[in-house]
Amino acid sequence: MDGVKLSKSKKYDTIGKINFAGSVHEKDIKKADKLMNNFSFFKSVEERHDDAIEIFKSIFAKCLLAKKYAEALYCAEKIMVCSIKVYDHYTYYDYGMRCVEIGEKTNEYDYCIKKTHEIIETLSDDHKYFSKLVEIWEYTARIEILRNNNDDAIDAYLKASEITTYPHTTTKYKFEAVKLLMVDEKYRDCLNILNEMIRLCEKTDSLKYHVKEYILYLWMISLILTNKDPIKNKYDTQEVQNKVENHKSRFDVKRSIEYDLVMACIEALENDNVEIFNKAVMYYDRIKRLDNYMTKMLLIIKNKLSNSDNIVIGDSNGNSNSWSDNDFDIDLR
């Protein structure tokens, strides 16, 4: 534990090298360490480590209650070592994640990532813990976002999506990766993942409820990537229209507000008509409400139009609110 240094704060005890000398736990720590390290004629290795685990668990609980987080981490790390010796992966996982939770609570995100990767490496060959690995990768992604490390967060979400055995969690984690890729404006990568998600939805009845949302994201990102024809001086939306027609033939999207919105956006771009865009966005927002990501995409599409300084969105009561780029302080994380 010498390598773990948690942030100093009035809320927590000062952290440094752990020294239990003079502590109320000194006697028990020595006893547990002795059980871990010394040979005994009367107890097997497994029995000695099991006994040490119980001692460290008791001290861990007391230290955690007293907010002595460095001491609690010391005990949790010892429990993890003992658990490996007795092939107790459940206890190893349990206290490993407790270490991560303490690291997150004290804003020590580098330590959290180091610990999650250590747990993943240890449990990766144990098929009984595949579901736990999915949770750990999701946790890793959340910590990477807190570290402002979107690339690694995206990788973590995609790894979670690869090893989960449930289609709805596969699409859930892929969608989280798409949202982070949007923040980084990696739209081509977004399209690739969204296509994978849509194909999975096509094969899975339980996912068909969500497919319209994924298709709408794909359509909107495709519109963002649409370029203006320099000769005709207008946007060429034929590729997007082809995608819409393809999805219309495969899914029941023609009579949906998602379909109405994208077709209105296409018409607005082709005719450089901000009023068409206004009405479509207002109508969609009244029925479904725009999330941050869809709002961001619509703002980008809006900026392709002339005279687009003032766009109107209606609230749930039918009232209208004007919005422009400067009206939005959107936290896309």
- Rounded to whole angstroms, the Cα distance separating 231 from 229 reads 6
What is the pLDDT, as a whole number, of residue 194? 97
For residues 79 and 56, is the Cβ–Cβ distance under 8 A?
Answer: yes
The torsion of the CA quartet 135, 136, 138, 144, rounded to 10 degrees, works out to: 170
* Positions in the chain whose pLDDT score sits under 70: 1-22, 38-42, 307-333
Cα 132 to chain centroid distance, Å, stands at 15
Q: Does domain 1-123 have CATH number 1.25.40?
A: yes
- Parse the chain into domains and list their residue ranges: 1-123, 210-333
What is the model's pTM? 0.80
- Rounded to whole angstroms, the Cα distance separating 170 from 67 reads 37
For residues 212 and 187, is the Cβ–Cβ distance under 8 A?
Answer: no
What is the pLDDT, as a whole number, of residue 24? 74
For the stretch 271-306, pLDDT in tens is 999 999 999 999 999 988 899 999 999 999 999 988
Closest CA to 13 of 54, 56, 74: 74
